Structure 1
């Protein structure tokens, strides 16, 4: 029996050495042990209220740091004719010997005419008439006035079918994607989204992207819907895409979840990140060892560490047991592709060992 008890103590001693105790997360000391190495491969930066503002000035990683959008600006209610539009002309002339109208109907329905790249349409007996940049009513009045010498009593009816330059493309992320004509110069992006059936409810954290004249603008859908000043007016040739915000950070260790966490708003602080992952595990986590792992591009490295990191790989550390650490975490911005790691408390490992010892001692008593 004594031999069996000695075996129990030997197993317990091995457990206390920490060689084989199962744990769900790393200890802070294990992750940061390289900090004191002669040639460390990453730098460790404790975050506090004294340096959090300076750290905010370091280059942003994972995205450009904010969304660029065009605020709303009203335009005239009437549309203007552009190259590529199709103009329909009907000429009414009551003269018996009209050059244009049919004798029986007194009307002349001219073939649809596409506005040329020079902004003109061809009208019989008038030749090329410039209509580009004019409203439909102004173009109608111009053509009717020009016809007076050959048809004094003629009346002109003009309608326009929008072409590419007077249409916008609703590409994806809505119920009815397609090409939509602009009814006027005051047609807003919310009106377009409504015409397209609204944003697809299956999209998580949707973004609205506007491509115009080679430039790309983006805004979160919830902000677009909430702020009237963001309801920008569309222009011919615009392309609108609705898609999910694909920014994320990784939650690891003794947190409420271990997964990819999507950004639910423009910016997320370290304290908010802990909330999004379900907090830290009360029985396991070390609140003094919350870490944020980040990788910077080589061009961001600075020798003095003032306007950038001194190494590409940086581990930011937070002590959530102090007010200083909590306020620092409240103001520290998480970047896309960061890894948020809640390290495990050493007391958890000790508890596991002592639990193991208790089990072994109980087993020994049972053997007796």
Structure 2
């Protein structure tokens, strides 16, 4: 080997040593797509830590199930009760009367006619209508047949032998508003007092098929109730009956969770069912990247309200919480299946530490290749 080749070999060795030292020093700064688990949970065991870490295991699940829910507020629901199967007259309804009278000197009809029509009589706020020769008669809270019998009794002393016929049209107080989420929203009259939520949705043409996990919101006065359409389908006891003035809103489930890191997809996902488990969430995001992810380091980041830390409240030690899931053990998999995702949670698939080693080896291998090329050139 000539002197130039020797100098080149010495330079190559020095370059390799420097490259190795630089590579090891810059290990933490290597390009990668996600954090390593140790970076996220670092410092959790320190007294000044502002977050807490909880492994998701069988023994931990009973505790977390009693912690407050986070994210979009969820409302309760009403169980079904039973009402009258008949129509009930309410203030605001419209009543139409036909009075049949065959007497020659009728007070209600003109010669040659046998009927007197009193159409479009609106039931007042006090529940009354005005009848000629009788005055105000309260008919609210009665069935149409009961109201007809009452009017018949009232008119008998004045027009003996007359017959009263009554029909009604429901007004606003005897109707519900089907606000949206169905094919034909609008005002739906109550045909009876057993008219249910699903009956109203059916009257509106059914739920729009584009809605993901559609939710039913019932607004009654100042109270709000909510459940999913699928629950109403599965449990008839939840198909509660409606009252006049109710508002029924069908909308897409607004709850969501996020995914980042070495996941199949990095995006925002809506809930596709009432309860989404950690395993459901992993399936929705397309799992974790086989070549990059650490299967022992799937993290779920969640932030609780300050009220969750109040005295007497069962909850976490800190508002910020990191739940860790190990997909390489049976306990981790089963526990993930029973761990519920909350709205706003972040599912983070951390990077495998092995990737850093692979990157270093790749860099070193490339360096050796360059040195060999340089050495061959020097020779």
Aligned equivalent of 1:41, options 35, 50, 70: 50
CA shift, 1:132, in A, is: 0.7
Q: Distance in 1 between matches of 2:157 and 2:307?
A: 72
- 1:104-144 per-residue CA deviation (whole Å, 9 max, x = no partner) reads 22221124211112111110011111101111111112112
Q: Distance in 2 between matches of 1:230 and 1:308?
A: 30
CA shift, 1:93, in A, is: 0.9
- 1:40-89 per-residue CA deviation (whole Å, 9 max, x = no partner) reads 2212222322222112222221245x652223334322111011111111
SS at match of 1:193: helix
> Do 2:182 and 2:208's aligned partners in 1 also have CA atoms closer than 8 Å?
yes
Aligned equivalent of 1:318, options 313, 322, 325: 325
Q: Distance in 1 between matches of 2:173 and 2:216?
A: 21
> Do 1:27 and 1:343's aligned partners in 2 also have CA atoms closer than 8 Å?
yes
Rg (Cα) greater in structure: 2
Aligned equivalent of 1:252, options 256, 260, 263: 260
In the superposition, relative to structure 1, how do residues 240 and 46 fare at CA in structure 2: closer, same or farther (>3 Å)? same
Quote the residue 1:219 is aligned against.
227
Deviates more, 1:198-207 or 1:262-271: 262-271
Quote the residue 1:91 is aligned against.
99
Aligned equivalent of 1:335, options 332, 342, 358: 342
Q: Distance in 1 between matches of 2:287 and 2:217?
A: 33
> Do 1:302 and 1:310's aligned partners in 2 also have CA atoms closer than 8 Å?
no
> Do 2:197 and 2:240's aligned partners in 1 also have CA atoms closer than 8 Å?
yes
CA shift, 1:302, in A, is: 5.5
Quote the residue 1:286 is aligned against.
294
Kindly indicate whether residue 23 of structure 2 is the aligned counterpart of residue 15 of structure 1: yes
> Do 1:49 and 1:328's aligned partners in 2 also have CA atoms closer than 8 Å?
yes
Q: How do 1:54-93 and structure 2 match up within 5 A?
A: 54-64=63-73, 67-93=75-101
Quote the residue 2:61 is aligned against.
52
Quote the residue 1:345 is aligned against.
352
> Do 1:303 and 1:310's aligned partners in 2 also have CA atoms closer than 8 Å?
no
Q: How do 1:268-283 and structure 2 match up within 5 A?
A: 268-283=276-291
Alignment size in residue pairs: 366
Q: Distance in 1 between matches of 2:288 and 2:318?
A: 28
Q: Any gaps of 5 or more consecutive residues in structure 2?
A: 1-7
Q: Distance in 2 between matches of 1:143 and 1:120?
A: 12
SS at match of 2:315: coil
Q: Any gaps of 5 or more consecutive residues in structure 1?
A: none
How does the TM-score come out when normalised to structure 1? 0.92
Quote the residue 1:267 is aligned against.
275
CA shift, 1:6, in A, is: 4.5
Question: What RMSD, in angstroms, separates the aligned Cα atoms of the two structures?
Answer: 2.1
Quote the residue 2:156 is aligned against.
148
Q: Distance in 2 between matches of 1:217 and 1:297?
A: 23
SS at match of 1:272: helix
Aligned equivalent of 1:191, options 180, 194, 199: 199
